[in-house]
Structure 1
Amino acid sequence: MIRRARLLSVVVIVVCGALGIISSTQTWLTVVLDDGAGHLLDVPGASAIPVLAPLSLAVLALGAALSIVGLILRYVFGALSVAIGILLVWLTSNVTFEHPTSSVIATVTESTGIAGESAVDALIASITATAWPVVTLAGWILLVAAGVFTIATARGWAGTGRRYRTADAESGDSTRPATAAGSRPHDAIDDWDDLSRGEDPTA
């Protein structure tokens, strides 16, 4: 399980970030206006929660970076995932269960030209939620769990590259690395290999 902890954490966090980005473009709330005609307005996730898209992008970036960082940054990124996840759980829960006027005011104002929370509230007949807030809320709960899992298992994500090189050195298989190092300078391909092994190429 520990061997797969890095992959599991990275995949779950990246998927949660991608879900948030997709969800930000989908309809979260449907507003019925009390204007005599009962016009319907669709409110996307990005309007219901203005920070949804940027925070989702941050989660996506955290997940991608988590695949190559060292021990200290694993703890930092895990903690950030938990913090962002808790914030998004709170914001999404509020929209999902409370349907506050503040989550639809931008859409209503854009459509009707009426501004001000009290004026917009008087214009709204009803607000209903689609399935997207619930799905996204589940994703944020999973993100918090992934962040906690990352913190709990981070120390076990030993760099495989170091272990393999140590084993090679102990078995006397040091000719190939020495030959490679002596035959050409350290280039971008070597840097990429170092990153793939979870090492810092600038060290």
Structure 2
Amino acid sequence: MRVESVNGRRVKYSTMLLLLVGSGLALLAATQTWFTITLTDTAEHSTTISVAGSVAAPALTALSLAGLALTAALAIAGPVFRIVLALLGLLLGVSVLISAISAVSDAVGASSSAITTATGVAGDSSIRRLVHSSAIELWPWVALVAGVVIILASAAVVVFSRLWPGPSRKYQTRFAGEDGRPADELFAADEEPTDDAEARAAAEAPPADAPDSATPTALDRDAAIDSWDDLTRGDDPTR
């Protein structure tokens, strides 16, 4: 049983690390240069434009941050919610792939906003006439790999989530006892007295009509008053 727990924890952390690496690679790729666009000699502005991944694939940054947040949520998720998050991870990975493939398949179209900013020329046909050549850098392929990694990690969560240990107790509102009972039942059992305890408490309780030993009786009060009167007259009450 101990070995299964260790293996499950190892699978959990390995899967989360894989998802973290995929999301981190996608976020890193979004900040790097994807395309280098060379304009024709007739352009009156810069002849070379560097296009970042955040421009070529605008959704990539948001998808990467969502993947990082999903990794953190998986750390404390229960079995059912874990599957839901894994399905969302699959969707994120596919979206990263689509963003990267769309940009790579049409580098000029993905770079149109950067070209318009640099030259002031708008319109798809006008922009394409300005472009002499386009070079694809390494980082779009890194984004593709990141999407594949996110998909594989999310699929691993679906397949191996039954091996994962449960969430830490600090994230639970109720704790189960050693016999599996919830905390409220345990506390209720502790608060309910047993029959023997009730009988013992009843035997130890004083009877309701018993005189209070701390309160003097009427006879004791009368004797004290008589003794005081004797002392007042000069008589010795002890005789």
What band does the TM-score fall into relative to the shorter chain? 0.7 to 0.9
| Structure 1 residue 54 corresponds to structure 2 residue 62 | yes
| Structure 1 residue 64 corresponds to structure 2 residue 49 | no
Q: TM-score of the superposition, structure 2-length normalised? A: 0.64
For residue 221 of structure 2, what is the aligned residue in structure 1? none
Give the Cα separation in 2 of the matches to 1:161 and 1:126: 55
For residue 169 of structure 1, what is the aligned residue in structure 2? 178
**What is the RMSD computed on CA atoms of the aligned residues?**
2.1
**Which one has a bigger Cα radius of gyration?**
2
Q: Which runs of 5+ in 2 are unaligned?
A: 1-6, 170-174, 180-186, 188-239
Give the Cα separation in 2 of the matches to 1:160 and 1:124: 55
For residue 41 of structure 2, what is the aligned residue in structure 1? 35
User: After the TM superposition, which parts of structure 1 deviate over 6 Å for at least 4 consecutive aligned residues?
Assistant: none
What pairs up with 1:22-171 in 2 under 5 angstroms? Answer: 22-36=28-42, 39-96=47-104, 98-159=105-166, 169=178
Give the Cα separation in 1 of the matches to 2:59 and 2:21: 18
Give the Cα separation in 1 of the matches to 2:37 and 2:167: 53
Q: TM-score of the superposition, structure 1-length normalised? A: 0.75
How many Å apart are 1:161 and its aligned residue? 5.0
Deviations for 1:125-173, whole angstroms, at most 9, x for unmatched residues? Answer: 11111111111211111110001001111122131657xx87x836xxx
CA contact (8 A) 1:99 1:127 kept: no
Seq. identity, %: 30
Amino acid at match of 2:50: D
SS of the equivalent of 1:114 reads: coil
